[in-house]
């Protein structure tokens, strides 16, 4: 087990190193001069040369790459050209909304998707199964931004039930925090719910065809109880 973990760790480091080299070369070899972009259109040649010297753009490429890696490992991601503030500070400001939205989307997608898949497999060809098929087709075909527009129109503009934009930090109260995340969570979750539900339905149908499930059904066990037990066992 330890050897497997070490191999995976080494492979992950190698992949990260290759990605880092590719991104660095892509940025450095792309057309355009970063110093000229920072200086602006009205900058003189002396100003551009000073910025290049300050940023170390005149150094050889390997030296620039090693300095870039050293700064990143030390937590220095540089200064944003557009915002004029440290990149790490901008990332930290957006970390809480990103994690909050990701966690809520994951919880909603898995819980609703697995439940819908179990219900559809419980009565194959029934109303639940047909509704799931229609919902899955809708979730696959409609882009997320279109779903977001519809949610904003009905729940924010027409009914004024939910805010249309913004984010409330969690330290300001769970109520405002949760209310501001309802619409984006729903918009992001619908596609995942459709996918997870289809996968759960196919898995449950495969389980129902097993011999031990037919034996349990012949002994009087409920099919829904067996499906629920199997879902909990493999969760």
Res 106: pLDDT: 93
Res 232: pLDDT: 45
Res 6: pLDDT: 84
pLDDT at 223 over 60: no
**Is the distance from CB of 184 to CB of 101 less than 8 angstroms?**
yes
The torsion of the CA quartet 51, 57, 63, 68, rounded to 10 degrees, works out to 70
**Separation in Å, CA 174 to CA 160, 177, 184, 220:** 20, 5, 16, 46
pTM of the model: 0.67
Over pLDDT 70: what percentage of the chain? 87
């Amino acid at each position: 087990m330890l050897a497997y973990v070490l191999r995976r760790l080494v492979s992950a480091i190698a992949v990260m190193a290759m990605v880092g080299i590719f991104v660095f070369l892509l940025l450095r070899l792309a057309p355009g001069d970063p110093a000229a972009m920072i200086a602006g259109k009205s900058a003189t040649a002396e100003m551009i040369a000073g910025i290049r010297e300050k940023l170390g753009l005149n150094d050889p490429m390997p030296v620039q790459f090693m300095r870039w890696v050293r700064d990143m490992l030390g937590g220095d991601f540089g200064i944003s050209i557009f915002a004029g503030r440290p990149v790490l500070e901008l990332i930290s400001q957006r970390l809480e909304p990103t994690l909050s939205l990701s966690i809520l989307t994951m919880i909603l997608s898995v819980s609703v998707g697995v439940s819908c898949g179990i219900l559809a497999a419980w009565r194959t060809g029934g109303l639940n199964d047909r509704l799931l098929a229609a919902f899955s087709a809708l979730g696959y075909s409609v882009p997320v931004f279109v779903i977001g527009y519809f949610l904003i129109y009905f729940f924010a503009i027409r009914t004024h039930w939910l805010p249309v934009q913004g984010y409330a930090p969690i330290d300001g109260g769970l109520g405002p925090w949760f209310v501001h995340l309802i619409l984006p969570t729903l918009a992001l979750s619908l596609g995942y719910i459709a996918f997870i539900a289809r996968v759960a339905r196919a898995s449950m149908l495969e389980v129902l065809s097993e011999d031990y499930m037919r034996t349990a059904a012949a002994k009087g066990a409920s099919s829904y109880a067996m499906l629920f037990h199997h879902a909990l066992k493999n969760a």
